[in-house]
Structure 1
Amino acid sequence: MPAVLRPYHPSDQPGLYRVCLATGDAGRDATPLYRDPDLLGHVYAGPYPVADPGLTWVVTDDAGRVAGYVVATADTRAFDDWLEQHWWPVLRARYARRADPGDGTRDHVLVDLLHDRSRADVPAGFPAHLHIDLLPHLQGQGWGRRLVATLSDALRARGVPGLHLGVAAQNTGAVAFYERIGMRVHESFDWGYRMVLPLA
């Protein structure tokens, strides 16, 4: 069957987490970096379709497997509040803080992150934010552009004026893609860039 872009269904959650891990090292496979393969998904993918399933889409490949997705929230500040009430408490109870084992794995970094989450710095006029990931065999075929366009149309229908995202500086392919679809760098940090896309 051909690749298909469609709305998220709860049965897609394992595929969402798998793609998140397979692209979680600045676009490269992060599997060697995590002993718990679900941690990245818990932080960067899982909460979005639970908080607002209307803003998550997946791309399935010719084998019917989830091979890409976009997850988003229309209101980052409200999403942060939801996370504090409904998402982080369960994960904080499940994942106790741990020391760096010294073996190059990063589980302890993500566990610290979910225990110490601070409110996001939201740029004025860009309240929505997204995460998008595609496995290599679907990259360069227009699926990323279609995912962002689909999300953008849904956000415009809600009256959202703009969206933002963070991208690691070393993920040069992603930065170039975002620039091609009209995003611009709003702010630079040690870790990378915050980019924005006006929707009005």
Structure 2
Amino acid sequence: MDIRLATKADQERLYEICVLTGDSGKDATGIFEQPDLLGDIWVGPYLHLSPEHCFVVQNQTGQALGYCIATLDTTSFETVAGATWWPEKQLSYTKPDEAQKENWSRDERLTHLIHNPLQSPSEFLEDFPSHAHINLVAEMQGKGWGKKLMTTMEDSLRSAGSVGVHLILSSKNLDALAFYQAIGYHVIFERDGQIGVAKKL
């Protein structure tokens, strides 16, 4: 096993990993009618707009078994994604009817995020301007590779001048919260089913 920079050629596999970990860290296979939704939200923008801070852990054959993807400047990233990534995706996914929000399917809840992209809380961006996402397939969890990926990502951001990084996770994903806290992250906010954790670099 080793860690390397991700490339656009990894996209299909990283989308698969996104599904394999897409139910608050557990396998979401079969849950979504359009499984690419998860990758289009949480993987694709980073691979295309911030490749220099995207890493994978791979096996001996070069297959990715986990990833940690990040962006140096959240504000700039969200601006560029708003101009170049989301408009194309919005053409691919039908905007769900707000009047039926109480009855939205899982797909429709994610499609809403395509049309209304998530924004990092601006009040934390001075101290933690970078943000990241990490996912590992089940058999890679608990073996130290998550910490190694996070360290690689942090070193990359620090070398590029970042003073801090944050991640946002589901409030249901207590295993992930425990992992982040174990490697030096602290909670900076809790709201709307989400928890934000951050670390100074």
Aligned identity (percent) is 36
Aligned to 1:87: 85
> Paired residue for 1:42?
40
Instruction: Provide the rounded CA distance (Å) in 1 between the counterparts of 2:103 and 2:31.
Output: 9
Amino acid in structure 2 at the alignment position of 1:52: S
3-state SS, counterpart of residue 3 of structure 2 = strand
Q: Which position in structure 1 is the counterpart of 2:171?
A: 169
| Aligned match for 2:28, one of 27, 30, 37 | 30
Q: CA deviation at 1:90?
A: 0.3
Paired residues of 1:35 and 1:105 also in contact (CA < 8 A): no
Partner of 1:150: 152
Is 2:11 aligned against 1:13?
yes
Partner of 2:131: 129
In the aligned structure 2, how far is the partner of 1:103 from the partner of 1:12?
35
TM-score, normalization: structure 1? 0.92
Segments of structure 1 that go 5 or more residues without pairing to the other structure are none
How far 1:118 moved relative to its partner? Answer: 5.5
Tell which deviates more after alignment, 3-12 or 19-28: 3-12
* 1:181 is the counterpart of 2:192: no
Distance 2:70 2:142 in 1: 22
Q: CA deviation at 1:103?
A: 9.7
Q: Which runs of 4+ in 1 moved over 3 A?
A: 102-105
Unaligned runs of 5+ in 2: none
2: distance between equivalents of 1:103 and 1:158?
Answer: 44
Q: Is the 8 A contact 1:126 1:161 kept in 2?
A: yes
CA RMSD of aligned residues (A): 2.0
Give the match for residue 108 of structure 1: 108
Aligned length: 197
